[in-house]
Structure 1
Amino acid sequence: MKEIQETTGILNDLIAIHNDRIAGYQTALKELKTDDTDLERLFTGMIGESQDIRETLAAEVRSAGGDVERGTTVAGRIYRAWMDVKAAFTGNDRKTVLANCEAGEDAAQNAYKMALKEDGLPSYLREVLTSQMQSLRASHDEVRALRDAA
């Protein structure tokens, strides 16, 4: 029973990270200029990616009899507030938006690294999380490349 609670706790932490990621990219979409259609497509795709991953994780939590996390992390709320403050001083320029998004992607990578270090995580879930982390890494690298080009 303890292992199931620990596993659902790990999965719910990752669900909260994806809730943060969705909210962060929704905020980023609001900060885009009208000519940033490439970023609009990218951020919309990343929102969809997190929604899909979140649903996969939620299904695992439900199958273990747990309650699915609905909120965001405290750090995520603080991060989004900082994005809003920082944007007010920088004029919502493309590079700043991308730098903020990359910081969020770094946080997601770190959350997955920590989750994968946990003992007692079933091997099939370890494979699922590893695959999700690789997908998120590709998104991170795309955001970083765009930031560097800005």
Structure 2
Amino acid sequence: MKNLSTTAECLRDLVAFHAERINGYENMRNKFSPEETCLESLFTGFIRQSKMMKKELYDIGTSMGIKEEMLLPQQEGEYGLAWSVVKAVFSDRMPSYSLDKCKSGENALLIAYHSVEGTDGLNAEVRALVNKQKREVIAARDWIAHFERLLHKQAMKEPLAAVS
């Protein structure tokens, strides 16, 4: 019974993080400036990814006999600190497109996955799902870094083009 309670708590925490991730990317996507619209597909993909991951977490929890209400976040915005920082910086229109702040949000999610992965008492199926999703979040963070480099290179070329 204790292992089931621990599993429910771990799954609920990850579901809450994904809810915040979805909200964060939706908020940022809705405030894009014209220069930032190139990020729309990327953010839409991350929103879709988190929706799928939430579903997987719910499904595995309910298949283990955990009631759905035990998997729902207890308090809205509980894990949103990283995303609220992202939203505040994004609205400031800093020239870096604030993708480094998106990486901070992804890092917070990775810390949560790492913590859950190290929790005693999780069954092998849950641990395997957590590990798979953690690798997907790492890949998402790598995409952010890739876009960050591309946008930085583009920004570096624009002043040179104006001088020519």
The two structures have a TM-score, normalised by structure 2, of 0.80
Is residue 25 of structure 2 the alignment partner of residue 22 of structure 1? Answer: no
Q: Deviations over 1:12-65 (max 9, x none)?
A: 100011011101111220232234343100100110000000011012222323
Percent of pairs with identical residues = 26
Is residue 148 of structure 2 the alignment partner of residue 144 of structure 1? Answer: no
Report the CA distance shift for 1:43/1:87 in structure 2 as closer, same or farther (over 3 A): closer
Quote the residue 1:39 is aligned against: 39
User: 2 CA distance for matches of 1:92 and 1:72?
Assistant: 28
Structure with more relative contact order (C-alpha pairs < 8 Å, separation 6 or more)? 1
Q: Report the CA distance between 1:81 and its aligned residue.
A: 3.2
Q: Report the CA distance between 1:2 and its aligned residue.
A: 1.1
8 A Cα contact 2:36 2:97, kept in partner? no
Q: Report the CA distance between 1:127 and its aligned residue.
A: 0.9
Quote the residue 2:128 is aligned against: 127
Quote the residue 2:78 is aligned against: 74
Q: Which of 87, 90, 94 does residue 87 from structure 1 map onto?
A: 90
Which amino acid in 2 is paired with 1:58?
Answer: Y
User: 2 CA distance for matches of 1:86 and 1:65?
Assistant: 38
Q: Report the CA distance between 1:73 and its aligned residue.
A: 4.6
User: 1 CA distance for matches of 2:102 and 2:79?
Assistant: 14
Report the CA distance shift for 1:80/1:135 in structure 2 as closer, same or farther (over 3 A): closer
Q: Report the CA distance between 1:69 and its aligned residue.
A: 1.4
Q: Report the CA distance between 1:92 and its aligned residue.
A: 5.0
User: 2 CA distance for matches of 1:96 and 1:38?
Assistant: 11
Q: Deviations over 1:73-100 (max 9, x none)?
A: 5241x33333343334x3254x243112
**Deviating more after overlay: 36-45 vs 3-12:** 36-45
Which amino acid in 2 is paired with 1:127?
Answer: A
Q: How many residues align?
A: 147
Q: Give the number of the structure whose alpha-carbon radius of gyration is greater.
A: 2
**Deviating more after overlay: 14-23 vs 66-75:** 66-75
CA-based RMSD of the aligned residues comes to 1.9
Give the unaligned 5+ runs of structure 1.
none
Give the unaligned 5+ runs of structure 2.
153-164
The two structures have a TM-score, normalised by structure 1, of 0.87
Report the CA distance shift for 1:40/1:129 in structure 2 as closer, same or farther (over 3 A): same
